[in-house]
Structure 1
Amino acid sequence: MTTSAQQAMALAQAGQAGEGLALLRAAQARGEADAFLLEGLWLIEGRFAPRDPAAARAALGKAAELGHVGAARTLAGLVACGVGGDPDWQGAQDVLRRWAERDAVAAQQLALIARMDLDADGIPRGDYPLQVVHDDPRVARHEGLLSADECDFLITLAEPRMRRATIFHDELQRFVEDPVRRSDKSGFPLVSEWPFVRAINRRIAAATGTSVEQGEPLQVLRYAETQEYRPHFDAVAGMDNPRILTALVWLNEDYAGGETSFPDIGIEARGKTGDLLVFANTDAEQRPDPRMRHAGRPVTAGVKFLASRWIRARPPGPEGFGRHEVER
């Protein structure tokens, strides 16, 4: 049976967002949690309704009150990140605690966060010195940025959401298969930047000397046997807010092949579980550095999991990084 939320989404996708919103409001009056959740997502995205983070947070809070686990997960992330209100790390953990007995994901987040060295606001207290692999252009690494349990949990969160890697095609205005990358990927955009994910993003920011807001959504990439990322550049010419850095974290090591190769500077990198690799994509003028062509070599046995975060020169405006620049 089709739910009111599904009907509303179908209307919106058919160009009838107003009718879809009216249907959601009627369903909300009947106490349907899905209707509050969907409106909250629309209000965050700004595609079928004007973007209003505060109203989104309120709608998701209502859906969570009505027992919607997905809404509660998103709400905890919004509270942690300060979307639609002030950031409140302790408040985000309170949301997780209220759901821990009903939601294994909330319980596992709490357990892993409890082991992290964070202050009361969720900011990492540790130092993460980088070992320079190549000075100019800069390539560096840090061993053991994430624990094995944190890596395993990222994989657990990502696997059900995996799909073929795509890029946004400006002319077609839709996502198409990536011509240079043969892999699967799962992203953690704003609606999925749960407290655990936020803590990981903050640690990557601390290790790279950047602010957490400069990073695009964390992605987890999965490369099966023979899959690869052909030679490419992460920086895009003409981008107003360029990708100055790429941060990669190896989430496992039980595979063969799959090295990260920089052919123009003679480097091939492979890390152990939890190790970070960070490299510059741009030159001193923030133009794409032609020396930073790199590739993920084919996996020859097993499955490789890698977390990836592109880091921009500065945080985005209120509209975020944009659909064509940030894959969902």
Structure 2
Amino acid sequence: MLFLFCFFPPARTFVNGSSVANPTQLQHGDRILWGNNHFFRISLPKKRSKRDDEEQDLSLRSSSSFEQLDTDGDCSSEGSSEINFNYEYAQMEVMLKALGNNDPMQSILQSLEQQHEEEKRTALERQRLMYEHELDQLRRRLSPEKQHYRSMDRFSFGSPNAQQRIRQWTEEREAMLNQSLRKLREQIAKANLYVQEANFIAEEMDKRTEYKVTLQIPASSLNANKKRGAVLSEPAIQVRRKGKGKQIWSLEKLENRLVDIRDLYQEWKEFDEDDPMSRSYFRRADPFYDEHENHSLIGVANVFLESLFHDVKLQYAVPIINQKGE
């Protein structure tokens, strides 16, 4: 039997994506993450029964790796030892677990799902009323002597078609929303991973900079030609430095900055005051924060030019919508 003991309570320790502080028994294939960069996988060879192998193979075929992380990440690795675990998988497992436990982003995702359900019910009712109105108009166009037979015929054949169209529309919308929410959930987990690493390094190097994940509407979704039906929000990074203003970075920008941050951290760890070459990191641009003037998007305004086509003078206040939908 193998147990994990945490002798240093402040140490960041995760087993299979869950934070642990008490002695924990480890099984074959369990994933251990110490701190932010030290990932281990337990290997305890033992003879396994053919039935265990068959159950494992069946479970692996029935679900993808990300779905397993989201639903049953607590399971020991006896049922997952054949999966190709790596560092990114371990970090993503931790982030997806954290996303489901008291994370503000989880409540946002739940509100998005509730909003979708409400919109779906409203849209279905609107579609039903529209088809009923069309059928009523068709009945009124028929002559009185043929109204009874033809209306019954149209109703019997039209109603199933209408129901099929509604059902198809609902299924397509549901699939699109589930795909969008799944993508948003993975992006938030990825953003949390980057933010956590950046905060650890910034705190250790005393950069007085804090990173936080927030949600915003993409600028492309604020124009009049945006695609309907998709989730509008995307994760963004809020950067704060003591005594400085707030900055909003994209996820890609933080990902690129992390490359420089890791290099700078490595040089800082190997810093030698007696070696002039080792002081070069002081002369490098600060990757933790943009000291120069940074222009932020205030909002997007849609100006329609149809009045120019008709040569009509029109004066109106153009609304500017920011990336929070205000």
Q: For the pair shown, which has the larger CA radius of gyration, 1 or 2?
A: 2
The two structures have a TM-score, normalised by structure 1, of 0.22
- Judging by fraction of residues, say which structure has more strand: 1
- Judging by fraction of residues, say which structure has more helix: 2
